Structure 1
Amino acid sequence: MIQISTHISCDPLFENIEIENKLLPSQYKDYPYLIIKNFFSKEACEELAFLVQEDEKTKRKAKVKKEVITGIVQADIVEEYRKTNIYKLDTFYQNYYDEQFSKYKPIIEEYFTVALTLSTDVQVLEYKKGFFYVKHADDSSEIIDKDEQTIGFKVVAPQRKLSTVLFATSHVSNADERVQSFSGGELMFNYLYDKGGEAVKIKPEAGDMIIFPSNPYFSHEVLPVEEGYRLTLVQWHDAI
Structure 2
Amino acid sequence: MNYNCVLNFNLGTNLKLDQISNYVFCDRRLNDFDFEIKLLPNPYYDYPFLIIKDFLSQTICDDIIKSVKKEDDFIDAKIKKENYLNYTDKSIRKTKIYKLSDEYKNIYTKRFLECQKQIEEYFSLALTTSTKVQVLEYQEGSFYKAHSDDSNMIYKDEELIGFKNVAINRKITTVLFASSCDEEKKEYNTFSGGELVFNFLFDEKGDVIKYKPKAGEMIVFLSNPYFTHEVLEVKSGYRLSLVQWHDALIS
TM-score after normalising by structure 1: 0.94
* Correspondence for 1:121 among 99, 121, 132: 132
**Could you say which residue in structure 2 is the equivalent of 1:29?**
45
Deviation at 1:174, TM superposition (A): 3.0
Q: Which amino acid aligns with 1:165?
A: V
**Is the aligned partner of 1:38 residue 2:54?**
yes
**Is the aligned partner of 1:172 residue 2:182?**
yes
**Could you say which residue in structure 1 is the equivalent of 2:79?**
64
Q: Which amino acid aligns with 1:2?
A: D
**Is the aligned partner of 1:213 residue 2:222?**
yes
Deviation at 1:196, TM superposition (A): 1.0
Q: Structure 2: any 5+ residue segments left out of the alignment?
A: 1-16
Q: Which amino acid aligns with 2:123?
A: F
- Contact kept, 8 Å, 1:177 with 1:227, in 2: the verdict is no
**Could you say which residue in structure 2 is the equivalent of 1:80?**
91
Deviation at 1:65, TM superposition (A): 3.2
The aligned runs of 1:66-145 (5 Å cut-off) are: 75-145=86-156
Deviation at 1:13, TM superposition (A): 1.1
Q: Which amino acid aligns with 2:159?
A: Q
- Separation in 2 of the partners of 1:222 and 1:33? 17
**Is the aligned partner of 1:184 residue 2:193?**
yes
* Correspondence for 1:154 among 164, 183, 187: 164
Taking only the aligned residue pairs, the percentage that are identical comes to: 51
- Separation in 2 of the partners of 1:227 and 1:15? 37
SS in 2 for 1:49: helix
- Contact kept, 8 Å, 1:144 with 1:151, in 2: the verdict is yes
**Could you say which residue in structure 2 is the equivalent of 1:70?**
none
Deviation at 1:21, TM superposition (A): 0.9
Deviations 1:72-117 (A, max 9, x none): x983211000000000111010000110000000000000000000
Deviating runs (4+, > 2 A) in structure 1? none
Q: Structure 1: any 5+ residue segments left out of the alignment?
A: 68-72
* Correspondence for 2:31 among 15, 23, 28: 15
- Contact kept, 8 Å, 1:123 with 1:233, in 2: the verdict is yes
**Could you say which residue in structure 1 is the equivalent of 2:63?**
47
Q: Which amino acid aligns with 2:212?
A: K
- Separation in 2 of the partners of 1:63 and 1:161? 20
- Contact kept, 8 Å, 2:81 with 2:87, in 1: the verdict is no
How many positions carry a matched residue from both structures?
A: 233
- Separation in 1 of the partners of 2:218 and 2:85? 30
**Is the aligned partner of 1:6 residue 2:22?**
yes
**Is the aligned partner of 1:227 residue 2:236?**
yes
Q: Which amino acid aligns with 1:132?
A: F
- Separation in 2 of the partners of 1:41 and 1:74? 36
- Separation in 2 of the partners of 1:212 and 1:181? 23
SS in 1 for 2:125: coil
SS in 2 for 1:174: coil
TM-score after normalising by structure 2: 0.90
**Could you say which residue in structure 2 is the equivalent of 1:196?**
205
Q: Which amino acid aligns with 1:202?
A: Y
Deviation at 1:51, TM superposition (A): 1.1
